[in-house]
A = this chain, B = another copy of it.
Amino acid sequence: MAVLDILKESASEVLKQTNQIAGSKEACTEFGRGAGGDISTGLDLIAEKAVLDTIEKYHFRPTVIGEECGLIKGDSGYLIMDAIDGTTNAMRGIPFYCCSLAFATDYKMSSITDAVVMDLGTGDIYSSSKGKGSFMNGERLENTRKSGDTLQNMVVGMNISGVSHEVFSSLSYLLTKFKHARHFGANALELCYLARGFLDACLDFRNKIRITDMAAAYLVVNESGGKVYTMNGKILDNDFEQNTTLSFIAVRDYETYTRIASEVPVFK
C-alpha cells in the first residue's frame, strides 16, 4: 500500500474513533504533558493510538515523531504526527480541528514526500505527494486566486494568542491595516484553508509553532503553489527536532509575502 494511502486510512481511523467524543467529558480528561509540552487529553491519546495501530496493521514502521508520544524509533523514514491539531477546539466541540500526518524520507521538512490533513469537523481530506500537487477529497487545489490584494482586502489567518509584548508591538502597524484577520484555532487546517484559496496568508510570529503542527500542511501549501517563509524571508526548511519552535509567513505568492513583510518591523 502506498504511504499516502496509509496516511489517509490512519486519518480516517482518527475521525471514526474521535467523532463521537469531541466536546465530551472523556475528550477533556487530562493525562499530563505530552512530548510537545502541551497537556495531553483523552482525545489526543485515542487519536494517536488510532494512527499507530493503523500503521502497524500495514507493517509500516518509520520513526514516529508525535505531539504526545514523542519519538518512537523505527526502521526508515519519519512519520510526523499531530493526531489532533486544535485540541482546545475539539475539547469544547468547536468544529475546527484536524489530524495532521506527514511522511519524510529524511530528517527535514524539504524531504517530506506525503501528507494528509483531515478536517475532523467536516471529514474533508487534504492530501499531497511531492511533485504531484495538492488535493481536497480527490479534487486538485489550484492556486488560481489572483494576488495583488491590498492588506485591507486580504483574508489572513493569524494566531496572536499569548504573543509577547515585543512581538505584539511590532505587529501593531500590520494589524491596524488588516480588515479581515481570522483565527480558527488549528494551525494545520488553517494552512489548508490557504491552499484552498479561502485565505491569502497565514502568519504566526510567536515562535511557538512546532514541527508536528506544521509538517503535513507545509507540503499541502507548497504543492498547491503557495510558499512558506521564515521571518527573514527564506523558504522555511527545518529539521524535525522536537523542541524547535517556529514563526512563519505562508502565502499564495511572493508578492503577498513582500506586502506583509514590508509592514512588520521585526523582519530583518
A positions within 8 Å CB-CB of B: 88-89, 92-95, 122, 152, 155, 159-165, 168-169, 172, 175-185, 193, 197-199
Using A92-B198, A172-B169 as known contacts, say yes or no to A185 and B185 having CB atoms under 8 A apart.
no
How many angstroms between the C-alpha atoms of A122 and B122 in the bound complex? 10
Q: How far is the CA of A231 from the CA of B199 in the complex (A)?
A: 31
A89, A95, A162: residue with the most chain B Cβ atoms closer than 10 Å: A162
Q: Is the CB of B183 within 8 A of A181?
A: yes
Q: In whole angstroms, how far apart are the Cα atoms of A175 and B162 in the complex? A: 6
**22 residue pairs from A and B, CB less than 8 Å apart:** A88-B180, A92-B155, A92-B198, A94-B155, A94-B182, A94-B193, A94-B198, A152-B162, A160-B160, A160-B181, A161-B175, A162-B178, A163-B175, A165-B176, A168-B172, A169-B172, A180-B185, A181-B183, A182-B184, A182-B185, A183-B183, A184-B184
For the A-B complex with A92-B199, A94-B198, A182-B183 known, give 4 more contacts whose Cβ atoms are closer than 8 Å. Answer: A92-B198, A162-B176, A162-B178, A183-B183
Bound-state CA distance A88–B159 (Å) is 19
Given contacts A92-B198, A185-B182, A197-B92, contact A176 B164 (CB under 8 A): yes
How far is it, in angstroms, between the C-alpha of A94 and the C-alpha of B178 when the chains are bound? 18
Quote the shortest CB–CB distance from A2 to chain B (angstroms): 30
CA–CA, A159 to B178, complex, Å?
Answer: 11
For the complex formed, measure the closest distance between the CB of A6 and the CB atoms of chain B, giving whole angstroms. 29
Q: How far is the CA of A177 from the CA of B161 in the complex (A)?
A: 7
Q: Are B165 and A172 neighbours in the complex by a CB distance under 8 Å?
A: yes
Q: Is the CB of B193 within 8 A of A179?
A: no
Contact of A177 among B162, B193, B197, B199 (CB under 8 A): B162
Q: Which residues of B contact A197 (CB under 8 A)?
A: 92
Residues of B within 8 A of A92 (CB): 155, 197-199
- Which residues of the partner chain B approach A169 to less than 8 Å between Cβ atoms? 172
- A159 (CB) vs chain B CBs: closest residue: B181
Knowing A92-B155, A168-B172, A172-B168, the reply to whether A180 touches B198 (Cβ < 8 A) is no
Chain B residues within an 8 Å CB radius of A181: 159-161, 183
Chain B residues closer than 8 Å to A185, beta-carbon distance: 155, 180, 182
Query: In the complex where A172-B168, A183-B183 touch, is A93 in contact with B160 (Cβ < 8 A)?
Result: no
For residue A89, which residues in chain B have a CB less than 8 angstroms away from its CB? 155
A149 CB to closest chain B CB (Å) equals 12
